Amino acid sequence: MAESPPPPNKATKEELLSKSVQELVINGGQPPDSYVYKNSTGGVPDVHSPLSEIPVIDLGNLKSSATTVEEELEKLRSALKFVLEFQAINHGITSSFLDKVHEVTKHFFSLPMDEKRKYSREANNIEGYGNDIIFSDHQILDCTDRLYLMVNPEDQRKFTFWPDNPTDFSFDWDEVVCLVGEELKVFMNLVVRLLGEAKGVCESLKTKVILKAMAKSLNLADNCFLEQMGERSTMFARFNLYPPCPRPDLVLGLKPQADGSAITFVLQDKEVEGLQFLKDNQWIKVPDIPPALLINIGDQAEIMSNGIFKSPVHRVVTNSERERISLAIELIGRLVNDSRPRPYKKVKNYVDTYFQYYQQGKRPIDAVRY
């Protein structure tokens, strides 16, 4: 008879706060009890989806001829309605830059613990190096270490959390902000078109007619999403390390969640998969297609669209043998209140609500529904 694996070990709240996930896994052998999903099968995927399950959208085609735009727009429409996320190519960021980001991220997490602790986050603050903020003794923790940095607005960057080692960690974030910002403008304007069509506007109508009809039916301007994001919308870069875990059947790298951002750009690990999203009550594996970026609609976009588009619930499973690296670039708007009827409460600072409810294992967007 095969031996059953040893049970998870116990760890006090103080131990969890003082140690990184890397230390707990390496030194403890078995994951601490606070990381174990007691009533769940953990990370075992239900379905291995083929690559075609996640639509690939060519952002370059969205800015080209009218025929190409309409064809790509139809793919985008289908992605937002039925899959809720998509892979973006021709996004303007070079493959060499993305490879450098992955390499430098891996280098940072391989540094000695004393070096990484120089950039540790403050208590109850997400920015900096660390893992989950602990709100409760009964909280299930993510098996991941993170480096969370605000990269935009530039005057809000806290450079005390920006690593000096490796020396090339300081990417040209201004270029990234500019590139992502331009793609966001194109994307947001196209989403507004989809909103008009989602309200029953004929899809064959030209752009101006769609925008006018959308504005009439929803009382929105054609740049409504960008206005709600605000001129000083926030961009966070979240570098993630998911270390090898001896119990992938019980421990998740990221608990089920939907992003609290408006839009999230994800650079996945090219060698180790782990991201899954929930579709029709099944967990679907998200493939990596280098150099594509995965784009998720977040809760803020769901709120801004009055629930026409949904933010997908996703998770990250752990791997018993290999570590996984990823980067998420989160665009967070300052939600501006308006007078039109909506299924959501008025929200100005969704971030605080998001992290409070997320760590309780609840969907944060439910807290702002009427």
Answer for the pair 327, 241: CB distance below 8 angstroms, yes or no: no
Neighbours of 113 (CB within 10 A): 10
| Whole-angstrom distance, CA of residue 90 vs CA of residue 208 | 26
What is the predicted pLDDT for the residue at 367? 58
Beta bridge partners of 329: 237, 265
Instruction: Give the pTM.
Output: 0.76
Q: How many CA atoms lie less than 13 Å away from 309 in the CB half-sphere?
A: 31
| Whole-angstrom distance, CA of residue 228 vs CA of residue 334 | 7
Q: Is the pLDDT of residue 233 over 60?
A: yes
Residue 61's pLDDT band (boundaries 50, 70, 90)?
Answer: confident
What is the predicted pLDDT for the residue at 189? 47
Q: Which of 99-103, 146-150, 359-363 has the lowest mean pLDDT?
A: 359-363
Q: Is the pLDDT of residue 350 over 60?
A: no
Residue 151's pLDDT band (boundaries 50, 70, 90)?
Answer: confident
In order, the DSSP letters of 11-42 are: --HHHHHHS-HHHHHHHHSSPBGGGB-TTS-T
Q: Which of 152-161, 197-206, 231-240, 267-276 has the lowest mean pLDDT?
A: 197-206
What is the predicted pLDDT for the residue at 193? 45
Q: What is the mean pLDDT of residues 154-161?
A: 82
Q: What is the mean pLDDT of residues 188-202?
A: 40
In the sheet with 314-317, reading across from the earlier edge strand, the strands are 252-257, 314-317, 275-279, 282-285
Q: Which of 170-184, 215-229, 328-342 has the lowest mean pLDDT?
A: 215-229
Q: What is the mean pLDDT of residues 179-197?
A: 48
Q: Which of 29-33, 194-198, 336-340 has the lowest mean pLDDT?
A: 194-198
Q: Is the pLDDT of residue 21 over 50?
A: yes
Helix residue ranges per DSSP H, the chain: 13-18, 21-28, 66-78, 95-109, 113-116, 173-198, 207-218, 224-229, 299-304, 350-358
Packing angle between helix 173-198 and helix 66-78, nearest 10 degrees?
80
Which letter does DSSP use for residue 83 in this model? I
Residue entry with tokens 């979240």: 238
Q: Which amino acid is at 313?
A: V
Burial of residue 136 (CB within 10 Å: 0-12, 13-18, 19+) is exposed
Q: How many CA atoms lie less than 13 Å away from 144 in the CB half-sphere?
A: 24
Quick: pLDDT tens for 283-317.
888 888 888 888 888 887 777 767 777 788 999 99
Packing angle between helix 173-198 and helix 207-218, nearest 10 degrees?
70
